[in-house]
Structure 1
Amino acid sequence: MSTADGVRAALAEERRAAAGRLAALERELASAVEAAAEGTADDEHDPEGSTTAFERAQVAAVLDQVRTRVAALDDALARVGAPGFGLCTGCGEPIAAERLAARPWATTCVACAAGSPGGRPRR
């Protein structure tokens, strides 16, 4: 199996997991919105201490993060095998295989991602 095939498989698996999380969060948010519309939620007297509006905001924020993750995974899947895949967008050098194994959607090397002075100038 080539490096690109391994990365593609890792990305596809990560995307499947993220898509499942996205669907679950969308259902959770829809349920919370429906409950609020029915007037069954009592924000002021919630024994748990948090308001349903706060909980909806938390779910919406996580939902946005997961949507961003899915988009990044889709972008990475489209780039696998294309010229330039695995090259840092910051310095143009190859991204370490270990980094791609850990974060197959990475677009920068460790040095450029960290913003360190060790990041090499683009050729």
Structure 2
Amino acid sequence: MDDPRSALLAERARNERLLADVERSMRDVSDARQDANSDDEHDPEGATLAWERGSLGAVRDDARQRIRQVDAALARLDAGTYGRCAVGGEPIPEARLAAVPWAATCVAHA
């Protein structure tokens, strides 16, 4: 990979946008819930809103995790250890880094 920093920064920016969008959607779901019946068992919208909130929460958590992974990869790049397996120290194959620039391990240790 010629310039991993640009790929990492692009991935970070993409996940920051995703996180902002998801948090906005979660607020919308929460606002919709405020006007709904508080009895989920008898409220036909209750299960739908709960499912939407749970799904959005999973996407939010994934975006936060990816940002942490990218930040760790940027730190490895600055430290000069980027592209080395965090477990065994061997080089991470170029193809893996091209597909997953934030990868911290080789395929064998993934």
Superposed counterparts of 1:39-54, under 5 Å: 39=36, 44-46=43-45, 50-54=47-51
* Structure 1 runs of 4+ with >3 Å offset: 40-43
Gaps in structure 2 of 5+ consecutive residues: none
Deviation readout 1:59-82 (Å, 9 max, x if unpaired):
112111111111111121222142
Gaps in structure 1 of 5+ consecutive residues: 114-123
| Alignment root-mean-square deviation, CA | 2.2
Deviation at 1:57?
Answer: 1.2
CA distance, structure 2, for counterparts of residue 111 and residue 78 of structure 1: 23
Q: Number of aligned pairs?
A: 108
Change (3 A) 1:36 1:8: same
Q: TM-score if structure 1 supplies the norm length?
A: 0.77
Q: Secondary structure at the match of 1:80?
A: helix
User: Percent of pairs identical after alignment?
Assistant: 42
Instruction: Identify which of structures 1 and 2 has the higher relative contact order when contacts are C-alpha pairs closer than 8 Å and 6+ apart.
Output: 2
Superposed counterparts of 1:11-90, under 5 Å: 11-39=8-36, 44-46=43-45, 50-90=47-87
Q: TM-score if structure 2 supplies the norm length?
A: 0.85
Change (3 A) 1:23 1:107: same
Deviation at 1:53?
Answer: 1.2
